[in-house]
């Protein structure tokens, strides 16, 4: 997966979490994104424990990302 595809997926997930937060949860934006990210991470971990191969691939992709460059640059 290329870095532009990963960035696109990252942005879509961020927009979806922002929408869910503003529509249903109504937390302050930073808290809503944090809670949503924790739920997504927990979901991926649960799928990994169930043996879903896509979860393992997703974890490998996220682990290989230069997170500091992706977020701060």
Rounded distance between C-alpha atoms, residue 14 and residue 19, angstroms: 9
Picking from 32, 31, 37, 10, the residue whose alpha carbon sits closest to that of residue 21 is 32
Q: Residue 65 has what pLDDT?
A: 77
What are the boundaries of each domain within the chain? 3-72
pLDDT in tens, 21-73: 899 989 998 898 889 889 888 988 898 899 888 787 777 877 887 877 767 77
Q: How many residues does the chain have?
A: 73
Q: Residue 1 has what pLDDT?
A: 63
**pTM assigned to the model:** 0.69
Phi-psi region of 26 (alpha: psi -120 to 50; beta: other; left: phi over 0): left
For residue 14, give both structure tokens. Answer: 């961020």
For residue 34, give both structure tokens. Answer: 């944090």
pLDDT in tens, 2-22: 767 777 877 888 888 889 889
């Amino acid at each position: 997966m290329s870095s532009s595809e990963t960035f696109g997926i990252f942005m879509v997930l961020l927009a979806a979490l922002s929408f869910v937060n503003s529509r249903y949860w109504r937390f302050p934006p930073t808290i809503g994104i944090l809670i949503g990210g924790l739920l997504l991470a927990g979901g991926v971990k649960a799928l990994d424990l169930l043996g879903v191969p896509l979860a393992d691939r997703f974890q490998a992709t996220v682990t290989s990302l230069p997170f500091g460059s992706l977020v701060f640059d």
